[in-house]
Amino acid sequence: MYKCSLERMTDKIKTFSKYGDAGHGGITRYSLSEAALQARAEFRKRMEAIGAIIEVDDVANMYATLPGSDPEAKRIVMASHCDSVKNGGNYDGILGVMSAMEVLETVAAEKIPHKHPLTAMIWTNEEGSLYPPAMMCSGIVCYDFLPEDIRSKFKYEDMMKSVSILDQKSTFGEALAKSGYQGDKKYRLSPEKYQYMFETHIEQGPILEDAGNDIGIVDCVLGMFNYRVKFYGQTTHAGTFPMPKRKDAFLAASKAICYLHEKIDALGYPELVYTTGEVVCHPCVHTCVPDFFEFSFDARHEDPEVLEKVLDIVKSCADMDWGGCSCEVTKAWNRDTVYWDKKLVSYVKEAAEELGVSHQYIHSGAGHDAQFAAYMLPTTMIFVQSKDGLSHCEPEYSSPEHCTEGASVMLGAVLKADRD
Amino acid sequence: MYKCSLERMTDKIKTFSKYGDAGHGGITRYSLSEAALQARAEFRKRMEAIGAIIEVDDVANMYATLPGSDPEAKRIVMASHCDSVKNGGNYDGILGVMSAMEVLETVAAEKIPHKHPLTAMIWTNEEGSLYPPAMMCSGIVCYDFLPEDIRSKFKYEDMMKSVSILDQKSTFGEALAKSGYQGDKKYRLSPEKYQYMFETHIEQGPILEDAGNDIGIVDCVLGMFNYRVKFYGQTTHAGTFPMPKRKDAFLAASKAICYLHEKIDALGYPELVYTTGEVVCHPCVHTCVPDFFEFSFDARHEDPEVLEKVLDIVKSCADMDWGGCSCEVTKAWNRDTVYWDKKLVSYVKEAAEELGVSHQYIHSGAGHDAQFAAYMLPTTMIFVQSKDGLSHCEPEYSSPEHCTEGASVMLGAVLKADRD
């Protein structure tokens, strides 16, 4: 039974945390930025040091491959991303890349025999923090395999024109051309060349920590829907319009938020999560009654019937009177639950058991590149415990010990898959 | 008993509505914009046509004066503004200027004898829509007379540096220099040269219309306070964080909005108005639980004790637990009720009675340049009925008949004041 190296993993965490260091414990490392290119150079250097072959596809996805003993065998790939959100932490995404590197380094150092070529991979622009959307380059690469309504959002030409949220001008296509990482389309991940995909990631939630388990055996990415709930009132002057005649869209939305929490919580599904994270208020002036207020509504659960019940409640807002304001409920998008490959999930579970690592089954509430890859290849994920469940912020933390355990579990699972 | 001319007033309304016409029934006429300069040129042309002397002070306030029979008598001024909010209506501000012009035109046409010089005046930048703050140039001109906490916001040097909300670069001072309307400080409104001030304005609320009265005899500008209510939670990922552990700042704010309406409405003051018009949400991303939410709280009532009771309720939010979120209540600013000069109010009432115009006493909930002038000169206001109470929007409307009645009432009141 092989184990990854705590010392090597600790060194990688320390090294990669420098690229995009924002100076107070976290990083800002937009895809294809100077900091992201430094991380890619580090990846290349370390992978070349163990004899891996580097390939880069046309959207800068990077592949480092150790050949296997069977020249006919397809590759097994371990992938995640090295870009971050603004003022993000040192683990989201990059832990999956470091874990893949660590697996290859362990295989090389311990001369572990393997039949299949093993590939560590970096997905470009998973966060979409600078150039939306998120999961852009897995969307492009898996395009032909995605369901129609998801696919339509990842047209190659549209993605190249995605505009920087910072300058509202420069495009992803320009950043790609300038990066020096625009390789060849023939190197793209494909079912012809690749057999399985694994992704290790931090949990980004508190479930493992609360349960006292180090590792999560992820079985699915939760289905979800995203709607917009809009209220239309009448703007009037703050000083001149009597209260009973007002149609205040913000008051309407506030009442609706309270109503939604009451009704949805009464359904009694402890695993359901729902979020109203984005708001728009108009005219948003302290001397005007708002005539428009909108919030996003994101709900996630494994069971589509549960989501259906929640959606019914959300939709019921449109039929109610909100103090003279009308309400409109519109669909933004949804996705079905994506189940990981059962055989790969069982490999991960067996590996965790053999290593004696505390573990449990868990769903992924967040989206990951792996879920697009799953439409193309048998795929699964491994979660590593997150401190306080925090992510997409600077206090995001997973201990080097847990990170190394995650890599060891992935190594064990990959070696089981290698026997197929 | 003199009456103003419906025909002349109708022509002025039609003419001024062209300057800044946004193409769908209203105007955008930022102070010192091309459209505002056209309105000023029209004012000058019409006032010169009746022999009025034009003066412009150092912040572009314009004065058109018809001499009186007594060379020792101080001027009586009628003033309002010709700038608008973005996509505003054809009456807010400009009605007061047109009414002042109409009074002078009637005096000239009917050769009405008067002792005091009579002045029609345009205040620069009342709305502050492009260069904040609102009531900028009355703040500058009345500076020495304002209460300390109001005055501190209208320092001449600061006002000149006020930056355009459109380009975030050009300043009010630059716009003033370019306008051709930067005159001489010696022409500023002052108690040495001016005896009384009147301002006619649309009501901007539905009270007169609901009561079936054409004209409002305004007795005061309501006292008010403006606070910010802030909620601090914890941002987490929308998909990965269980509901019971969340600290959702938007949910906290929504509950607080409902709480505030319940408690404040229970106080039972029908004339009280309060508004939560401006919101800030962070990070305002549909996949993140908000960790910060802030709303403005504006309350207005004549009686400071009522405002005190409302403020106590608002402040009580800070001591409550909002689902794990903390709350902070901070003061933005407040102002005391400004009462108009009792003698001038009685002149307005007598004039309305003599003309047989339906009228009532009313408070002003909105702020006006006249309230700053009131610290310097005996001042009062006249309101004209607003259709549906709408203002600061394109459907804003007052009939030519009501507008002409307003001017006639002001003429009557000015002629009474002329006897002093």
Residues A160 and A294 in one domain: no
pLDDT tops 90 at residue A333: no
Residues A244 and A347 in one domain: no
| DSSP 8-state symbol, A78 | E
CATH of the domain at B392: 3.40.630.10
ipTM of the complex: 0.88
Chain B residues in contact with A205 by the CB 8 A cut-off are 236-237, 240-242
Q: Do A338 and A374 touch, CB atoms closer than 8 A?
A: yes
Residues B138 and B249 in one domain: no
Q: What are the pLDDT digits (tens) for A85-122?
A: 989 999 999 999 999 999 999 999 999 999 999 999 99
Is residue A288 situated within a structural domain?
Answer: yes
Does B273 sit within 8 Å of A257, measured CB to CB?
no
Is residue B1 situated within a structural domain?
Answer: no
The pLDDT value recorded for residue B190 is 98
CATH of the domain at B291: 3.30.70.360
The pLDDT value recorded for residue A150 is 92
* Among candidate residues A283, A306, A335, the one where a domain is terminated: A335
Does B206 sit within 8 Å of A224, measured CB to CB?
no
Is residue B117 situated within a structural domain?
Answer: yes
Cα–Cα distance, A132 to A134 (Å, whole number)? 6
Is residue A1 situated within a structural domain?
Answer: no
Q: Do B403 and B4 touch, CB atoms closer than 8 A?
A: no
The nearest alpha carbon in chain B to A249 belongs to: B277
Residues B153 and B295 in one domain: no
Is residue A171 situated within a structural domain?
Answer: yes
Q: Do B233 and B292 touch, CB atoms closer than 8 A?
A: yes
* Domains of chain A: total: 2
* Among candidate residues A296, A313, A335, the one where a domain is terminated: A335
Residues B314 and B289 in one domain: yes
The helix (H) or strand (E) run that includes residue A46 is helix A34-49
Cα–Cα distance, B164 to B152 (Å, whole number)? 21
Residue range(s) defining the domain that contains residue B246: 223-335
Listed in sequence order, the DSSP H helices in A204-248 are 207-211
Residues B98 and B207 in one domain: yes
pLDDT digit of tens for each residue in chain B (420 aa)?
899 999 999 999 999 999 999 999 999 999 999 999 999 999 999 999 999 999 999 999 999 999 999 999 999 999 999 999 989 999 999 999 999 999 999 999 999 999 999 999 999 999 999 999 999 999 999 999 999 989 999 999 999 999 999 999 999 999 999 999 999 999 999 999 999 999 999 999 999 999 999 999 999 999 999 999 999 999 889 999 999 999 999 999 999 999 999 999 999 999 999 999 999 999 898 889 999 999 999 999 999 999 999 999 999 999 999 999 999 999 998 889 999 999 999 999 999 999 999 999 999 999 999 999 999 999 999 999 999 999 988 999 999 999 999 999 999 999 999 999
Residues A138 and A240 in one domain: no
* Among candidate residues A305, A335, A365, the one where a domain is terminated: A335
Is B206 touching A (CB cutoff 8 A)?
yes
Residues B296 and B360 in one domain: no
The helix (H) or strand (E) run that includes residue B201 is strand B194-202
Residues A319 and A384 in one domain: no
Using DSSP, state whether A280 is helix, strand or coil. strand
Is residue A103 situated within a structural domain?
Answer: yes
Listed in sequence order, the DSSP H helices in A226-365 are 249-265, 304-316, 342-355
Residues B243 and B113 in one domain: no
Using DSSP, state whether A335 is helix, strand or coil. strand
Cα–Cα distance, A410 to B371 (Å, whole number)? 73
Does B393 sit within 8 Å of A235, measured CB to CB?
yes
Is residue A249 situated within a structural domain?
Answer: yes
The nearest alpha carbon in chain A to B247 belongs to: A275
Is residue B375 situated within a structural domain?
Answer: yes
Count residue pairs from A and B with Cβ separation < 8 A: 200
**Residue ranges of B 217-246 with Cβ closer than 8 A to chain A:** 222, 224, 226, 234-243, 245
Residues B182 and B265 in one domain: no
Residues A180 and A68 in one domain: yes
Residue A142's identity, in one-letter code, is: C
As a residue count, chain A comes to 420
Q: Annotation-wise, does B201 bind a ligand? A: yes
